[in-house]
Amino acid sequence: MLEARHLTKKFGTLTAVNDVSFKINDGEILGMIGQNGAGKTTTFRLLLKFLEPDSGEVLWNGKPLTKKDYDAVGYLPEERGLYPKVTIEDQLIYFARLRGKTKKEVKPLIDEWMEKFQVKGKKSDKVKSLSKGNQQKVQLIATLLHEPKLVILDEPFSGLDPVNAGLLEEGIKELKEKGACVIFSSHNMNNVEEICDRLVMAKDGAMVLNGTIHQIREQFGRKKLFLETPKTVEELALMPGVQSVHLTRDGVKVLALQDAAYGKEIFEQVTKDGYISTFSQQPPTLEEIFKMKAGEQHE
Nearest residue to 222 via CA among 238, 241, 203? 241
- Indicate if 231 and 193 belong to the same structural domain: no
pLDDT at 67: 84
User: Given this model, what pLDDT does residue 299 score?
Assistant: 44
Q: What is the pLDDT of residue 296?
A: 74
% of the chain exceeding 70 in pLDDT: 99
**Strands of the sheet with 198-203, listed across from one edge:** 73-76, 150-154, 181-185, 29-33, 198-203, 206-212
Say yes or no to pLDDT of 280 above 90: yes
- Are 230 and 210 found together in one domain? no
204-233, pLDDT tens digit by residue? Answer: 999 999 999 999 999 999 999 999 999 999
Cα three-residue angle 186-190-192, rounded to 5 degrees: 45
Phi, psi dihedrals of residue 241, rounded to the nearest 5°: 80, 0
Same domain, 106 and 246: no
Report whether pLDDT(80) > 80: no
What region does 29 belong to: left with phi over 0, alpha with psi -120 to 50, or beta? beta
Residues 240 and 207 in one domain: no
What residues make up the domain containing 242?
Answer: 224-282
For residues 110 and 201, membership in a common domain is answered with: yes
Whether 295 maps to a domain, the answer reads no
pTM: 0.85
In a domain, residue 24? The reply is yes
Please list the residues that pair with 11 across neighbouring strands.
14
Quick check: is 132 in a domain? yes
Residue where one domain finishes, among candidates 173, 203, 218:
218
Q: What average pLDDT does the structure give for the chain? A: 92
Same domain, 70 and 177: yes
What residues does 75 pair with on adjacent strands?
Answer: 152
Is the per-residue pLDDT at 192 higher than 70? yes
Residue 185 and residue 136 share a domain = yes
pLDDT, one tens digit per residue, over 229-246 is: 999 999 999 999 999 999
Look at residue 297 and tell me if it is in a domain.
no
Inside any domain, residue 214: yes
CB 38 within 8 A of CB 60: no
Residue 157 lies in a domain: yes
Asked if residue 82 and residue 135 are part of one domain, the reply reads yes
The least confident of 9-13, 162-166, 195-199 is: 162-166
Q: What is the pLDDT of residue 297?
A: 62
pLDDT at 267: 96
Q: What is the distance between the alpha carbons of residues 230 and 14, in angstroms, rounded to a whole number? A: 56
Alpha-carbon gap, residue 200 to 183, rounded angstroms: 10
| Single residue among 218, 239, 269 that ends a domain in this structure | 218
* 247-264 average pLDDT score: 95
Average pLDDT of span 3-29: 95
Q: What is the number of domains present in the chain?
A: 2
Whether residue 159 is predicted with pLDDT greater than 80 in this model: the reply is no
> Is residue 294, in this structure, part of any structural domain at all?
no
